[in-house]
Structures are given as C-alpha cells and as structure tokens.
Structure 1
Amino acid sequence: MIKTENLNKVYRTEEVETSALNNVNLHIKKGEFVSIMGPSGCGKSTLLNILGLLDDISSGSYLFDGQEMAKLRENGRSKVRKQNIGFIFQNFNLIDELNVFENIELPLIYNGINPSERKKKVNEILERMNISHRSKHFPQQLSGGQQQRVAVARALVTEPKLILADEPTGNLDSRNGNEVMELLTDLHAKGATIVMVTHSAYDASFSQRTIELKDGQIIAEHSNKKEVSIG
C-alpha cells in the first residue's frame, strides 16, 4: 500500500537549510499495523504528514496504492487524502462549536455525501464506537477518552484505506490510553492499515512492527520483538 524510495524532506529559509528526512525507504503492506518511534525532532511527524499528503517531499518517491504522489497537483493529493486517509491526532482536533454528530459528519460533507447517507454512516460509527448517547454533546462536555473516541470515529466514517495516528494516547491517562490502543488493535484485527507515531514503547507493542528513526533516517526495525538492524 505504501512505498517510499530514497525519500528526502528539506526545509529551506533564506538563511537556513534543515534536512528532516534522509533517504527513507519504507514499505507498508495493506492490513499492517506499524509504529514509528524515535526522539523528538527525528522526523516522525514529518514522515507521517508526508504519508498523509499534508506535506510534500523534496526528492525521492512516494507511492500510495501504486500511484506516485509527487506527480499529483495539490487538488489531486487533496482528493486522495479525503477519500483514502483517516487522521487521529494527539490533541483530538475537534471543533468546539460542533457537537459529536457534527464533528464526525464533517469529512462526509467534504466528500460530497448526501445528507441521508451522512446520517446513516454517522449513526453507524457512533454505535460502533459506543458513543451514540453522546451524539448531541459538545467536545468540552466529554472526557479525554470520549473525545479521542469521537476523533477515531471521524477518522473511520469515510471508510479510509489508511489510518494515520499521531501520538493518539499522548493527552490521555493510562486507562483511557489503553482503551484507545485496544480500539486500534480491534480495528487492525478487522483489516485496517494503521501507521502510528508514538513515544511509548508500550503503545508500540500493540503494533506488528516498529520502525525507529534518528536524525531523519531509519536506523532499525523491530518485528515480533526481534530487532533488525539497518546497515
């Protein structure tokens, strides 16, 4: 599903050039659950943003479902992103002025889904996430765990091919964090492809494979608790 070859990302200003990713070669199969770990500033979130088509590459190649993303213009990348990718963020990114139902409905509106179909899809995902009783509540009326459930529901409502999670338990206590990780594990068991950025080795243990970044480069992979060094 995902393949990068010699992927590089450089940020430039008039005075400074900063290399965020260096020759990243990554292959993620459909149905995999992969974690990306590394110290702050190593390029984890930059890589996730590129995979989610929120940022461009400087050089190299990024294939999503066999299609080269670098060749697409912004409207083409936006279409792929809206139709195929669901995002879960550390800070939930819910809109305070919208209730739970409306927050989850938003990506369906962006995708041009008609009102009756939107209502059906939102109600189904509310039931699946066990938050139907909160549909008319606003984000500030929810616990952190409930807000993250809404964020997960919003990510899933478009039935994306890929779920990208950036520190999904970062703002949660251990109990709510465990609930979110169990939810992601359940989604993976049902066939979801998930890529998660995390600082937590415990959270990463829920995934099938962990990729370690340092200074913008992949330095190691862990699969089934066994480390594979990258030469």
Structure 2
Amino acid sequence: MITIENLQKVYKTEEIETTALNGINMHVAEGEFVSIMGPSGCGKSTLLNVMGLLDKPESGSYRFLDTELLTLRDRDRSAFRKKNMGFVFQNFNLIDELTVFENIELPLIYNKVNASERKKLVNEIIERMNIVNRNKHFPQQLSGGQQQRVAVARALVNRPKLVLADEPTGNLDSAHGNEVMELLCELNEQGTTIVMVTHSAHDASFSNRIVNLKDGHVISEKINKSRSAELI
C-alpha cells in the first residue's frame, strides 16, 4: 500500500542545517497498524508530516495507492490528501466556534460533498463513535476523551484509506488514552490502515509493528505477533 524509499529531509536556516530524515525506507501494508517510536528530535513527526503531504522532502520516493506522491503538483497533492487521508493530532485541533457535528462535517465540505450526503455520513460516524448525544455541543463542553473521539470521527468521516495519528493520547489521562487507543485498534480491525507516532510503549502495543527511529534513520522494527496474527 505504502512504499517509502531513501527519504531525505533537511531543515535550513541562515546558520544551521538539520537533517531530520536521513535515508528512510519503510513499507506499510494495507490494513496494518504501524507505530513510529524514538527519542525527541529523531524525525518521527517529520516522517508523519511527509506521509501526510504536509511537508515535502528534498529527495526520495513515496508511493501510495500506486501513485508517486512526491512528483505531484501542489494542487494535486492537496486533492489526494483530502480524498485518501485522515489526521488525528495530539491537540485535537477542533474549532471552538463549531459544534461537534460541524467540526466533523468540515472534511466533507472541503471535498464538496452535497448537504444531504454530508448529513448522512456525519450521523453515521457520530453513531459509530458513540457521541450522538454530543452532536450539538461545542468542544469546550466536552471532556478530553470526547474531544479526541470527535477528532477521530472527523478523520474518518471521508472514509480515508490511511489515518495518520501524531501522539493521539498525549493530552489525555490514562483512562481516556486507553479509550482512544481501543477505538483506533477497533477501527484497524475493521480494515483502516493506521500509522501513529507515539512515545508510549503502552500505546504502541496496540499496533501490528513498531518502527524505531534515531537521528533520522530506521534503526529497528519489531513485530507484535499477537496483533499481526490477525492480518493472516
């Protein structure tokens, strides 16, 4: 599903040049749940941003759904991202002035889905996320766990092929964090491909495979045999 070869990403200022990704090679199978781990500054979030087409590397290859994404024009990259990817961030990134329903609806509006279909899709995902009784609430009226459920619902409403999650439990207590991880695991078991950046070994235990980075390199990979057996 995803093949990454020799990704190089360098950040430059007038005085400093920092190599964030230094020859990354990685494959993600359809329906897999991959965790990316490593110390701060190792390139985890940079890699996720490149995979999400939010950042562009200096060189390398990134193929997804038989498409080489790094050669696409900016407009085509944006269209591809909106159609095929969903994002879950540590800080929720919900819009305070919009209700739960309206926050979840945003990706569909961006993709120019008509109003009746938007309503149908949002209601389906709200029910799936068990937040039906919160659809008219505003983010500040929700608990942290509920806000992250809204963020996950927004990521999934457009039925993306890939969900990218950056520290999705980082702002949650352990109980709400477990709730979100169990939700992501359930979605993965239903066929959603997930790539997650995390510092938490506990959160990573929900994935099929753990990829460890250091200084912009992949230094090791570990298969979670208990979960990977479910793919067979």
* Interval containing the TM-score (normalised by the shorter chain): over 0.9
Which residue number in structure 2 is paired with residue 27 of structure 1? 27
* Aligned residue identity for 2:82: K
Rounded to whole Å, the distance in 2 between the matches of 1:224 and 1:60 is: 28
Rounded to whole Å, the distance in 2 between the matches of 1:42 and 1:95 is: 30
Which residue number in structure 2 is paired with residue 229 of structure 1? none
Identity among equivalent positions (%) equals 72
The 5 A counterparts of 1:71-220 are 71-220=71-220
Rounded to whole Å, the distance in 2 between the matches of 1:13 and 1:112 is: 38
Rounded to whole Å, the distance in 1 between the matches of 2:76 and 2:16 is: 30
* Aligned residue identity for 2:198: T
TM-score by length of 2: 0.96
What does the per-residue CA deviation read over 1:58-113, in whole Å, with 9 as the maximum and x for residues that have no partner?
A: 11111111211111011011011000000000000000000000000000000000
What does the per-residue CA deviation read over 1:110-168, in whole Å, with 9 as the maximum and x for residues that have no partner?
A: 00000010001001100000101000000000000000000000000000000000000
Rounded to whole Å, the distance in 2 between the matches of 1:157 and 1:224 is: 28
Residue 60, structure 1, aligned to residue 56, structure 2 = no
SS, match of residue 87 in structure 1 = strand
* Aligned residue identity for 2:150: V
* Aligned residue identity for 1:49: N
**How many Å apart are 1:15 and its aligned residue?**
2.2
Query: Which stretch of the first structure deviates more once superposed, 63-72 or 114-123?
Result: 63-72
Rounded to whole Å, the distance in 2 between the matches of 1:34 and 1:140 is: 31
SS, match of residue 109 in structure 2 = helix
* Aligned residue identity for 1:164: L
Rounded to whole Å, the distance in 2 between the matches of 1:161 and 1:120 is: 20
Unaligned runs of 5+ in 2: 227-232
Which residue number in structure 1 is paired with residue 3 of structure 2? 3
Unaligned runs of 5+ in 1: 227-231
Query: Which stretch of the first structure deviates more once superposed, 144-153 or 12-21?
Result: 12-21
Runs of at least 4 residues off by over 4 Å: none
| Aligned-residue RMSD, C-alpha | 1.0
**How many Å apart are 1:225 and its aligned residue?**
6.0
